[in-house]
Chain A
Amino acid sequence: MAAAEIDVKYVAHLARIALSPEEEHKLSAQLGNILGYIEKLKQADVSGVEPTAHAFPLVNVTRPDEVRPSMSNEDALRNAPAKANGLFIVPKIVE
């Protein structure tokens, strides 16, 4: 496999996923395998080919900017892990 080495620890940090050392080890090997397989895309001739982001791009989909009924504050907070005074509670961000 001529695949690029993947620094699992670093990428997992970017993805905000805490991994155990065993998980890191296992993922390294599996992702190396998958990246090795993906390498085959390098053989495709894509010169002059435009990328497709969506199969049926609809451009400039707009609607009138008007107030419509939306979810209540109470409903939006119903599934919150921690809440108070109509707000989500999170750990302290600034000292």
Chain B
Amino acid sequence: MLNQLTLSELTAKLANREVSAREAVQACLDQINRVEGKIHAFISYDAADALGQADAADKLLADKGKSANLPLVGVPIAAKDVLSVKGQPLNCGSKILGKFISPYDATAIQKLRAAGAIIFGRLNMDEFAMGSSTENSAFGVTRNPWDTSRIPGGSSGGSAAAVAADECIASLGTDTGGSIRQPAALCGVVGMKPSYGRISRFGLVAFASSLDQIGPFTKSVRDAATLLEAMSGIDRMDSTSVPQKVPRYAANLEGGIKGLKLGLPKEYMIGGLDMEVKAAVDAAVKQLEKLGAEIIEVSLPHTDYAVATYYIIATAEASANLARFDGVRYGARMDGADPIEMYGKTRGAGFGAEVKRRIILGTYVLSSGYYDAYYLRAQKVRTLIRNDFLKAFEKVDAIVTPTTPTAAFKIGEKSDDPLQMYLSDIFTISCNLAGICGLSLPCGFTKSPKLPIGLQLLGKPFGEETILKIAHTYEQNTGWHREKPTLT
């Protein structure tokens, strides 16, 4: 079935006219009809609009002169509900945006369209990307395709589940503290967080502006490289996007990893690490060594402070960013006698529990008398965490870790204990604080139930080429990424 293909397999078939873009989109829509009742990866999708885009792509494909330079022509890609897609709803998994319709495309979406992609569907997520399980959505829970009693991870849970369940060829998510890599690991797909500034954030609804990045979910490392290449680059609409040259990521995957030095951080061998996850990661490290990499122990001494630092910086930035949802210019307004009452009622009714919790924590750590003790101190510890990585990268080309301490947990298991939920991001959070790049790829399964395990590769700032090459080499020598959930 066409919806099961990787992006590179589909583009090959489209290019030689073996299949049409309409057939590819229809195959995804058929799969959505078959499995959405169990998975609920999508908040909504516009089938007529997707088929219209497919027909336009088929016209381009009929003319080699027009389609030869469009690497994504006819490929159905779905987007997390936090990215603006012109004319489509934008809810961020929240009630507060009401019937909001995006007036423009995010830059990442524009770039995918310019490469020929078909953009369809609004993927479910934790409200405003705050969460690790997709249980915090105002639109219901997304379920893990490998075991529907379990969470898909979060906050980009819909993006990971849709790719794992073959409801689309690839998808986009966002990663502020692990929200791409963690769900990718728990759903058994490839997920990448690029270096801060690599992809423009214009049209992405901001959660924590100094940490947020957009990235791809795919069925292979090659596909992640292709999408990263299509979306990267400086954008005058985002002054934090960097003027760094965009490498040919997809063309530079081959060549092997002989002589590359990989670091194993000793601080990541924590007590809460599941035995099966540890065994799978140990085996992956052995395999990388066999493939020619040199394994070196490294130290990231400030790791233990990462979660606390993150929850001060991310909530502080969120409290400022989310001030815009006040019922004045858009969204579902609750009336009040004066503006203050209107803001309070609108936000009290519109935001869910986790978002309120984080805005209030963020407001507190920024408030008069507490700023130095919390926010300023956290920013200084952030420097220490970043320096740990820069020091480690003097010795090694990349760092290898588990993506998550355990495989997917049960729906409801941690939803009443925010602190336990936060601690499930322990391996992914430092990467955002340091601004470096990271990806997760499948490296095995637990026995019973059979649940995916993710391997995380962390690279130098703008070192995407290196970690993609390592991941690709590993993937070419293992079969994990080809396994599919049964979804009966």
Q: Residues of A at under 8 Å CB distance from B?
A: 4, 6, 8, 11-20, 23, 27, 30-31, 33-35, 37-38, 40-42, 44, 46, 49-56, 58, 61, 63, 71, 75-76, 78-82, 88, 90-93
Contacts and interface: CB of A to CB of B under 8 A. Distances in A.
27 contacts: A12-B360, A15-B319, A15-B359, A16-B326, A16-B347, A17-B356, A18-B341, A18-B347, A31-B357, A41-B309, A41-B381, A44-B302, A44-B305, A44-B380, A46-B384, A49-B380, A51-B382, A53-B379, A54-B210, A56-B197, A61-B239, A71-B104, A75-B103, A79-B331, A80-B329, A81-B327, A91-B338
B236 interface: yes
Contacts of B332: 81
Contact of A91 (B236, B312, B337, B434): B337
B343 interface: yes
B361 to A, nearest CB: 6
Given A15-B359, A79-B330, 15 more contacts: A14-B367, A16-B323, A16-B326, A19-B356, A23-B353, A27-B356, A37-B308, A41-B374, A41-B378, A55-B196, A58-B239, A79-B99, A81-B98, A81-B328, A92-B338
B342 A52 contact: no
Contacts of A61: 239-240
Contacts of B80: none
Given A11-B363, A19-B356, A93-B338, A79 B100 contact: yes
Given A41-B309, A79-B101, A91 B239 contact: no
A17 B342 CA distance: 10
B427 to A, nearest CB: 17
Nearest to B432: A55
A63 B326 CA distance: 31
Interface in B97-115: 98-101, 103-104
Nearest to A64: B236
B247 interface: no
Given A31-B364, A55-B210, A81-B327, A38 B311 contact: yes
B27 interface: no
B461 interface: yes
Interface string B337-351: 111111111011101
B379 to A, nearest CB: 3
A91 B342 contact: yes
Interface in B374-390: 374, 376-384, 386
A69 B461 CA distance: 34
A76 B328 CA distance: 12
B308 A91 contact: no
B330 A81 contact: yes
A52 B382 contact: yes
A34 B311 contact: yes
B178 interface: no
Interface of B: 98-101, 103-104, 195-197, 210, 236, 239-240, 242, 302, 304-305, 307-309, 311-312, 319, 323, 326-333, 335-345, 347-349, 351, 353, 356-357, 359-361, 363-364, 367, 370, 374, 376-384, 386, 418-419, 422, 433-436, 461
B308 A38 contact: yes
A16 B307 CA distance: 27
Contact of A14 (B240, B361, B363, B461): B363
A66 to B, nearest CB: 12
B476 to A, nearest CB: 31
A88 B328 CA distance: 7
A23 B363 contact: no
Contact of A17 (B330, B360, B367, B386): B360
A15 B342 CA distance: 13
A54 B328 contact: no
Contacts of A17: 344, 347-348, 351, 356, 359-360
Nearest to B243: A58
Contacts of B323: 16
B308 A52 contact: no
Contacts of A37: 307-308, 419
Contact of A56 (B196, B305, B326, B382): B196
Contacts of B345: 18
B377 A46 contact: yes
A34 B436 CA distance: 26
Given A17-B348, A41-B378, A31 B361 contact: yes
From A27, A38, A79, A93, residue with most partner B Cβ within 10 Å: A38
A47 B71 CA distance: 51
A92 B111 CA distance: 43
B236 A63 contact: yes
Contacts of B307: 37
